[in-house]
Amino acid sequence: MNKTELIAALANKTGASRKDSEMFMNAFVELVKDTLCSGEKVQLVGLGTFERKDRAARVARNPRTGEQVEIPESKGVAFKAGKALKDAVNE
């Protein structure tokens, strides 16, 4: 399911217009992004947790040439599914 299909399903499930559903979806994505950028995590009971992960700088090896390459530190996002979601998927 892509974003357009998700917006359509949300509108259908709630009875709201597609425009309102799209506005809600965009606001939700923006809030999650802003929260993660500020270093906080987003915990949604029944779904899971979005969390920013800091990756330290490291030295890796290019498998083709064997040359060492420095990889700078970076930030990533991790999602950990909650128990309710895991249980629903496994049924």
Average pLDDT over residues 33-40: 95
| pLDDT class of 37 with cuts at 50, 70, 90 | very high
CA distance 44 to 89: 17
Q: What is the mean pLDDT of residues 78-86?
A: 96
For the domain covering 41-91, report its CATH number. Answer: 4.10.520.10
Torsion of CA 23, 24, 28, 34, to 10 degrees: 40
Question: What's the pLDDT at 8?
Answer: 95
Side-chain half-sphere CA neighbours of 7 within 13 A: 16
Structural domain boundaries of the chain? 1-40, 41-91
